[in-house]
Amino acid sequence: MADLYLSAPGLVSPFGLGLEANAEALFTGQSGLVARNDLLLGRTAWVGAVTADLPPLPADFEQQDCRNNRMLRLAMEQIRPQLDEALAAYGAERIAVVLGSSTAGMDKGEAALAHWQREGALPADFDYERQALGSVARFAADYLGIKGPAYSISTACSSSGKAFASGQRLIKAGLADAVLVGGVDSLCRLTLNGFKALESVAPGPCTPFGEGRQGISIGEGAAVFLLSKKKGEVRLAGVGESSDGYHISAPEPEGKGARLAMDQALAQAGIQYGDIGYVNLHGTGTPKNDEMEAGLMARCFGAATKVSTSKAQVGHALGAAGALEAAFGYLALTDPEGRLPPQLWRGPQDPALPELNYAALGDRQPVRYLMSNSYAFGGSNVSVVLANDTRN
């Protein structure tokens, strides 16, 4: 199969809109986590919130208007020239959409429920379709005029990482010439309180791999790319997927499924573990995930490979996390100074975890290959390898 390349991403995150704002905040170790009192019942929540203005959708898409789709629209508009070029070159029927999400328009569902509790009836304009998970890809296709295959993936935290694998398969199978891949997720009370019920939400800003860590800080955002055979600066070198099904919420302690996904991604890329210059860790800040992942990284990469987790800066964007972190990887691969996303610490490292080579603020190390890993409930794992072949 011919090599596939990714366009520069359209990006909406707690750092802001677009590549410049995100690169500046990412590489200088800024935090996008803020305290909110309107999401958790009876408790403050530290979340990675998008604070940029999110205008309503145009009138023709009013029935699809929600926070998720507003963020997705802004991300897609950032790569509109590439999308328009692909539409002209291939035709609408030869372009596909694969997007990961776990919330869709849940904010509209929550507002409708509150209205029902007050008034005894749902709002007259309420449309359940807004909160259906498939609505994410349908909106993207409708908004862009894309006529090829369009579907959403919802495998919790691996959703948008798996979108790269699905997009790759669509092109390999001859079903599309280009695919809009990525993900979007938005903050909502359902998600926050669900994770609170699992005792997985940190009482303050999350501190992945830190001593005394107590859980995640949930975030939101959108990141989309155009995947195609058109040569670009960043190549999708390999993707690996696995489903170990160890437990509904806990990772397999030795990381067997995670290792299988990495092995597959490296095999597809035709490289070895030692060729990876940087790994964007899943790094949630929960005790069990960080313990599993630190051990796995130490066994596979040792102390040589630089690693960090972006979730300490922007929170865990759940269904959008894989795409956001791939976008941060894109920024690292194309940064003219060779900067790496630093590990943001809020206290001492956990001395009980194996020692890793965490990227520090100001680290500069141009890398040719990097890996981004995502692990989800139910043992759904994905590993994405990106490459910049102009670097040696």
* Rounded-to-integer distance, Cα 274 and Cα 91, Å: 41
Distance, in Å, from the CA atom of 68 to the CA atom of 140, rounded to the nearest integer, reads 11
- Residues 261, 373: contact at Cβ < 8 Å? yes
For 4-37, b/e burial (b = at least 16 CB within 10 A) is bbbbbbbbbbbbbbbbeebbebbbebebbbeeee
- Selecting among 66, 188, 300, 316, the annotated active-site residue is 316
Please give the Cα distance from 148 to 340 (Å, whole number).
36
Beta carbons within 8 Å of 328's beta carbon, 6+ residues apart: 22, 26, 280, 310, 341
Q: Tokens 């939400």 identify what position?
A: 201
Distance (Å, rounded) from C-alpha 96 to C-alpha 84? 13
Has 316 been annotated as catalytic?
yes
β-pair type (234-243, 10-13): unpaired
Active-site entry in 157, 188, 206, 300: 157
- What's CA 258's distance to the chain center, in Å? 17
Which parts of 141-233 are beta strand (E)?
150-153, 178-185, 221-228
Q: Which of 66, 188, 206, 282 is catalytic?
A: 282
The DSSP element (H or E) to which 186 belongs, if any, is: none
Residue 26 CA to residue 332 CA, distance in Å, equals 10
Q: Quick one: which of 316, 325, 331, 345 has its CA closest to 185?
A: 316
Residue with tokens 């009013």: 62
Name the nearest CA neighbour of 322 among 391, 240, 253, 208.
240
Cα distance between residue 143 and residue 21, in whole Å? 25
Task: Supply the residues annotated as catalytic.
Answer: 157, 282, 316
